[in-house]
């Protein structure tokens, strides 16, 4: 099983460039989310979605856009990259009413903004 | 605002001993508390979920307690092994699996 797949694994951008981090899951999960992880800050929620066509902001949404046109995909767009967006980004998904509450994570995308 | 605290200093223990990690939270009344393991360069992996009406939960060598009065969860690994070395993250939440807020994690090092 593929689980949660993120691409690219590594990316270097220049300030002001835009890019999209891709996330796909094959578990038919309703819930998908994006986190960023910085040293000493832990995982912080950027955006999340509870189903196709529904998205909402998390703790640190500024500078990022998301859309959810299908159940499987949840891309994260950086509109104009800034050095403060240098981080490791994780996509995660789960069932909305899952008994275990398990959140499945991708392997991460490491982004450096110069 | 809600705050989740885990010991940011690494915990070093000898193989075979019991490791105990702490998760404290404030300004929050979660219904669930989850623990995840994260290895370097990898995404977090779910270990256990405990509900507010459960005092203790076990899974193989793992044991989690949840004290809603103290606003604290303890995570124990008994008979620890070098393979248990990783960072452990706690995540209290209102909804199981959704909109999780994570603590900063505690790094565990088990020495042979």
What does the pLDDT look like over A5-19, one tens digit per residue? 999 999 999 999 999
Give me the residues paired with residue B51 across strands: B32
pLDDT at A50 over 90: yes
Q: Is B3's Cβ below 8 Å from some Cβ in A?
A: no
Angle at CA of residue B92, ends B88 and B98, nearest 5°: 100
Tell me the C-alpha distance between B4 and B10, whole Å: 17
Rounded to a whole number, what is the distance in Å from the CA of A17 to chain B's nearest CA? 25
Interface touch B96/A31, C-beta < 8 Å = no
Query: Span A22-51, mean pLDDT?
Result: 94
Residue A65 burial by Cβ neighbours in a 10 Å radius (0-12, 13-18, 19+): middle
Q: Is B46's Cβ below 8 Å from some Cβ in A?
A: yes
pLDDT at B17 over 80: yes
Collapsing DSSP states into helix, strand and coil, what is residue A86?
Answer: coil
Residues in B touching A43 (Cβ below 8 Å): 44, 89, 102
Res B11: pLDDT? 95
Q: CB–CB of B12/B70 below 8 Å?
A: no
Whole-number mean pLDDT of chain B?
Answer: 93
Q: For residue A36, name the pLDDT band (cuts at 50, 70, 90).
A: very high
The torsion angles phi and psi of B47, rounded to 5 degrees, stand at -115, -60
The proportion of chain A whose per-residue pLDDT surpasses 70, expressed as a percent, equals 96
Tokens coding B35: 């623990």
Q: For residue A98, name the pLDDT band (cuts at 50, 70, 90).
A: low
The torsion angles phi and psi of A85, rounded to 5 degrees, stand at -95, 0
For residue A8, cis peptide bond before it (omega within 30 degrees of 0): yes
Q: Is A27's Cβ below 8 Å from some Cβ in B?
A: no
Residue-wise pLDDT tens digits, B52-87: 999 899 999 999 999 999 999 999 999 999 999 999
Interface touch B99/A48, C-beta < 8 Å = yes
């Amino acid at each position: 099983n593929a689980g949660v797949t993120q691409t690219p694994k590594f990316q270097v951008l220049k300030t002001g460039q835009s890019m999209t981090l891709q996330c796909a899951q094959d578990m038919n999960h309703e819930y998908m989310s994006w986190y960023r992880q910085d040293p000493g800050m832990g995982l912080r929620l950027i955006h999340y979605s509870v189903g196709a066509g529904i998205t909402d902001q998390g703790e640190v949404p500024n500078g990022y856009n998301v859309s959810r046109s299908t159940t499987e995909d949840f891309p994260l767009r950086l509109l104009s990259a800034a050095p403060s967006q240098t981080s490791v980004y994780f996509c995660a998904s789960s069932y909305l009413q899952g008994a275990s509450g398990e959140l499945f994570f991708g392997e991460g995308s490491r982004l450096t903004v110069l | 605002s809600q705050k989740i605290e885990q010991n940011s200093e690494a915990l070093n223990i000898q193989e075979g001993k019991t490791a105990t990690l702490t998760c404290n939270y404030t300004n929050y009344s979660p219904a669930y508390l989850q623990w995840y393991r994260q290895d370097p360069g990898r995404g977090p992996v779910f270990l256990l979920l405990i509900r507010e009406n459960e005092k203790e939960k076990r899974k193989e060598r793992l044991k989690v307690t949840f004290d809603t009065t103290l606003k604290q969860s303890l995570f124990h690994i008994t008979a620890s092994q070098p393979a248990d070395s990783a960072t452990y993250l706690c995540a209290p939440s209102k909804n199981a699996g959704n909109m999780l807020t994570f603590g900063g994690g505690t790094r565990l090092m088990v020495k042979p």
